[in-house]
Amino acid sequence: MSAGLDTAPRTTLRTRAVPPARAGRARRRARPPRGLKTFEFAMMAPALTVLFVLSWVPFVILIAMSFAKVRTLGGVSLTFTGADNWSAVLGDGAIWASWARSLVYFVAIVGLEMLLGLAVALVLHQLVRARSVVLSIVLLPMFLAPVLVGLLGRFMLDSTIGLYAKILQGVGLGDDLLASPSTALPTIVSIDVWQWTPLVALILLAGLTAVPPATLEAATVDGAGYLRTLVSIILPQMKPIILVALLVRSMDAIRYFDIVVATTNGGPADATKIIPIKLYEFAFRFNNQLGKAAVLGLTMLAFSIVMARIFLRFFGERPSIAAGDGGDRG
Amino acid sequence: MAPRTDAISRRQLLAGGASLAALFALQACSTGEKTETPKGTAGGGDPWKQFSGTTINFISENTSPSAAIAANLAPFEQLTGITVKVQQMELDKVVEKCKLDFSSGTAQNHVIYADPYQILAPMADGLADLRPLLDSGNYPAVDKGLGDFIDTQLQATGSFIDDKKLFALPYDAPTMILHYRKDLFEKYGPRAKADLGFDPTPSDSMTWQQYLAVAKWFNENARSDVAYGIGAQAKQHDALQCDFSNVLWSFGGDYFEKGQSLGLRGSEEPGAVTVGSPAGVAAATFYRDLLKVAHPSSTTWDWTGLADAFVAGEIAMCPNWHEFAAGEEKAFPGKVGYALLPKGPARRAHIFGGTGIGINANAKGDELGAAWLFVNWATSPQTQLMSLGSKVGGGTPTRTSVYELPEVKAEEGKSPSKFPNIRTAETVLKAWQAENIGLRPKVAQWVELDTIIFTELSKMLTRGADPAATMAAMQQQMQKAMQ
A271–B448 C-beta distance less than 8 A: no
Residues of B in contact with A267 (CB under 8 A): 235-237, 299, 455, 458, 462
Residue B445, chain A, CB below 8 Å: the answer is yes
pLDDT digits (tens, 9 = 90+) for A63-110: 999 999 998 877 788 999 999 999 999 999 999 999 999 999 999 999
Angstrom distances, CA of residue A234 to CA of A2, A220, A227, A231: 16, 12, 10, 6
Residue A81, chain B, CB below 8 Å: the answer is no
Tell me which chain A residue has its CA closest to the CA of residue B118.
A285
Q: Which residue in B8, B28, B299 is closest to A268 by CB distance?
A: B299
Residue B320 identity = N
Average pLDDT, chain A: 86
Q: What is the CATH number of the domain that holds A140?
A: 1.10.3720.10
B7–A35 C-beta distance less than 8 A: yes
Number of residues assigned to chain B: 483
- Show which of residues 222-251 on chain B sit within 8 Å of chain A, judged by CB atoms: 235-237
Measured between alpha carbons, how far is A155 from B277 in angstroms, rounded to an integer? 39
For residue B315, give how far its alpha carbon lies from the nearest alpha carbon of chain A (Å).
Answer: 10
Confidence check: pLDDT of A266 > 70:
yes
pLDDT digits (tens, 9 = 90+) for B434-457: 999 999 999 999 999 999 999 999
Q: What percentage of chain B exceeds 90 in pLDDT?
A: 81
The domain tally of chain A equals: 2
Residues A24 and A153 in one domain: no
Residue A287, chain B, CB below 8 Å: the answer is yes
pLDDT at B163: 87
A56–B462 C-beta distance less than 8 A: no
For residue B98, give how far its alpha carbon lies from the nearest alpha carbon of chain A (Å).
Answer: 10
| Cis bond upstream, residue A268 (ω within 30) | yes
Residues B220 and B282 in one domain: yes
Q: Could you give the count of Cα atoms lying within 13 Å of A20 in the half-sphere of its Cβ?
A: 0
Query: Mean pLDDT over residues B382-405, rounded?
Result: 90
Residue B15, chain A, CB below 8 Å: the answer is no
Average pLDDT, chain B: 91
A10 pLDDT band, cuts 50/70/90, is very low
pLDDT digits (tens, 9 = 90+) for B49-68: 999 999 999 999 998 889 99
Residues A239 and A166 in one domain: yes
Residues A168 and A220 in one domain: yes
User: Is there a contact between B191 and B225 (Cβ–Cβ < 8 Å)?
Assistant: no
Residues A218 and A124 in one domain: yes
pLDDT at A54: 92
pLDDT at A170: 86
Residues B276 and B366 in one domain: no
Residues of A in contact with B298 (CB under 8 A): 179
Which of A289, A172, A34, A16 shows the shortest CA–CA distance to B4? A34
Residue B93, chain A, CB below 8 Å: the answer is no
Span between the terminal Cα atoms of chain A, in Å = 18
A179–B462 C-beta distance less than 8 A: yes
Measured between alpha carbons, how far is B449 from B447 in angstroms, rounded to an integer? 5
B395 pLDDT band, cuts 50/70/90, is confident
Residues A181 and A145 in one domain: yes
Q: Is residue A81 part of a domain?
A: no
Q: Is residue B231 part of a domain?
A: yes
Residues A118 and A212 in one domain: yes
pLDDT digits (tens, 9 = 90+) for A33-56: 777 788 888 999 999 999 989 999
Q: Is residue B110 part of a domain?
A: yes
Query: Mean pLDDT over residues A120-127, rounded?
Result: 93
B381: domain range? 43-174+354-404
pLDDT at B12: 58
Q: Tell which of A54, A76, A154, A177 to mutate to test the B interface (max B CBs under 10 Å).
A: A76
Residues A165 and A313 in one domain: yes
Which of B147, B268, B373 shows the shortest CA–CA distance to B155? B147
Residues of B in contact with A73 (CB under 8 A): 102-103, 123, 125-126
Strand partners, B256: B273
Query: Mean pLDDT over residues A165-193, rounded?
Result: 89
Q: What percentage of chain A exceeds 90 in pLDDT?
A: 65
What ipTM was reported for this prediction? 0.79
Residues of B in contact with A271 (CB under 8 A): 462
pLDDT digits (tens, 9 = 90+) for B337-346: 999 999 999 9
Q: Is residue B316 part of a domain?
A: yes
Report chain B's C-alpha Rg in angstroms: 25
Q: Is residue A82 part of a domain?
A: no
Tell me which chain A residue has its CA closest to the CA of residue B313.
A160
Residues B60 and B135 in one domain: yes
Q: Which residue in B25, B100, B309 is closest to A78 by CB distance?
A: B25
pLDDT at A139: 94
Residues A38 and A105 in one domain: no
pLDDT at A36: 77
CB pairs under 8 A between A and B: 139
Query: Mean pLDDT over residues B114-120, rounded?
Result: 95
B308–A267 C-beta distance less than 8 A: no
Residues B221 and B342 in one domain: yes
Residue A252, chain B, CB below 8 Å: the answer is no
Measured between alpha carbons, how far is A224 from B372 in angstroms, rounded to an integer? 79
Confidence check: pLDDT of B215 > 80:
yes
Residue B30, chain A, CB below 8 Å: the answer is yes
Residues B80 and B170 in one domain: yes
Contacts 24+ apart (CB under 8 A), B91-95: B91/B61, B91/B115, B91/B118, B91/B238, B92/A285, B92/B238, B94/B59, B94/B60, B94/B61, B94/B119, B95/A284, B95/A285, B95/B119, B95/B447
B237–A268 C-beta distance less than 8 A: no
Q: What percentage of chain B exceeds 70 in pLDDT?
A: 93
Query: Mean pLDDT over residues A216-230, rounded?
Result: 91
The domain tally of chain B equals: 2
B391 pLDDT band, cuts 50/70/90, is confident
Q: Is residue B9 part of a domain?
A: no
Residues B335 and B385 in one domain: no
Residue B12, chain A, CB below 8 Å: the answer is no
* Consecutive H or E run containing B59: strand B55-61
Residues B237 and B334 in one domain: yes
User: Is there a contact between B341 and B350 (Cβ–Cβ < 8 Å)?
Assistant: yes
pLDDT at B32: 47
Residues A164 and A200 in one domain: yes
Query: Mean pLDDT over residues B194-212, rounded?
Result: 97
A28 pLDDT band, cuts 50/70/90, is low
Tell me which chain B residue has its CA closest to the CA of residue A41.
B7
For residue A317, give how far its alpha carbon lies from the nearest alpha carbon of chain B (Å).
Answer: 25
Residues A41 and A119 in one domain: no
pLDDT digits (tens, 9 = 90+) for B315-332: 999 999 999 998 999 899
Residue A34, chain B, CB below 8 Å: the answer is yes
Query: Mean pLDDT over residues B161-180, rounded?
Result: 95
Q: Is residue B29 part of a domain?
A: no
B103–A76 C-beta distance less than 8 A: yes
Query: Mean pLDDT over residues B200-229, rounded?
Result: 97
All residues at 6 or more sequence positions from B47 whose CB lies less than 8 Å from its CB, including other chains: B138, B139, B140
A158 pLDDT band, cuts 50/70/90, is confident
A171 pLDDT band, cuts 50/70/90, is confident
Q: What percentage of chain A exceeds 70 in pLDDT?
A: 86
Q: Is residue A141 part of a domain?
A: yes
Q: Is residue A172 part of a domain?
A: yes
Q: Is residue A75 part of a domain?
A: no
pLDDT at B1: 40
A109: domain range? 89-328
pTM: 0.83
A158–B448 C-beta distance less than 8 A: no
User: Is there a contact between B275 and B452 (Cβ–Cβ < 8 Å)?
Assistant: no
β-bridge pairing B437-438 and B169-172 = unpaired
Report chain A's C-alpha Rg in angstroms: 26
With residues binned 3-state (H G I as helix, E B as strand, rest as coil), the percentages for chain A, rounded to 5, are 75, 0, 25
Measured between alpha carbons, how far is A103 from A34 in angstroms, rounded to an integer? 43
Residues B321 and B201 in one domain: yes
Measured between alpha carbons, how far is A120 from A198 in angstroms, rounded to an integer? 8
Residue A113, chain B, CB below 8 Å: the answer is no
- Show which of residues 447-476 on chain B sit within 8 Å of chain A, judged by CB atoms: 447-448, 451, 455, 458-459, 461-463
pLDDT at B65: 87
Confidence check: pLDDT of A25 > 80:
no
Confidence check: pLDDT of A183 > 80:
yes
A4 pLDDT band, cuts 50/70/90, is very low
pLDDT at B20: 55
All residues at 6 or more sequence positions from A171 whose CB lies less than 8 Å from its CB, including other chains: none
Confidence check: pLDDT of A60 > 50:
yes
Q: Which residue in B18, B235, B296 is closest to A60 by CB distance?
A: B18
For residue A108, give how far its alpha carbon lies from the nearest alpha carbon of chain B (Å).
Answer: 23
Confidence check: pLDDT of B116 > 80:
yes
Residue A162, chain B, CB below 8 Å: the answer is no
Confidence check: pLDDT of B224 > 50:
yes
User: Is there a contact between A109 and A193 (Cβ–Cβ < 8 Å)?
Assistant: yes
Residues A169 and A316 in one domain: yes
Higher-pLDDT residue of B7 and A202 is A202
Residues B336 and B371 in one domain: no
Confidence check: pLDDT of A1 > 60:
no
Residue B141, chain A, CB below 8 Å: the answer is no
User: Is there a contact between A46 and A62 (Cβ–Cβ < 8 Å)?
Assistant: no
Residues A227 and A187 in one domain: yes
Measured between alpha carbons, how far is B299 from B321 in angstroms, rounded to an integer? 18
Q: What is the CATH number of the domain that holds B86?
A: 3.40.190.10
Query: Mean pLDDT over residues B154-170, rounded?
Result: 95
Mean pLDDT lowest among A7-16, A55-64, A231-240, B113-122: A7-16
Strand partners, A142: none
| Cis bond upstream, residue B416 (ω within 30) | yes
Query: Mean pLDDT over residues A268-272, rounded?
Result: 94
Measured between alpha carbons, how far is B321 from B326 in angstroms, rounded to an integer? 11
To the nearest 10 degrees (0 to 180), the angle between helices B208-221 and B182-196 is 100
Name the domain boundary from B386, B404, B422.
Answer: B404
Residues of A in contact with B300 (CB under 8 A): 158-159, 176, 178-179, 264, 268
User: Is there a contact between B426 and B413 (Cβ–Cβ < 8 Å)?
Assistant: yes
Confidence check: pLDDT of B5 > 90:
no
Span between the terminal Cα atoms of chain B, in Å = 54
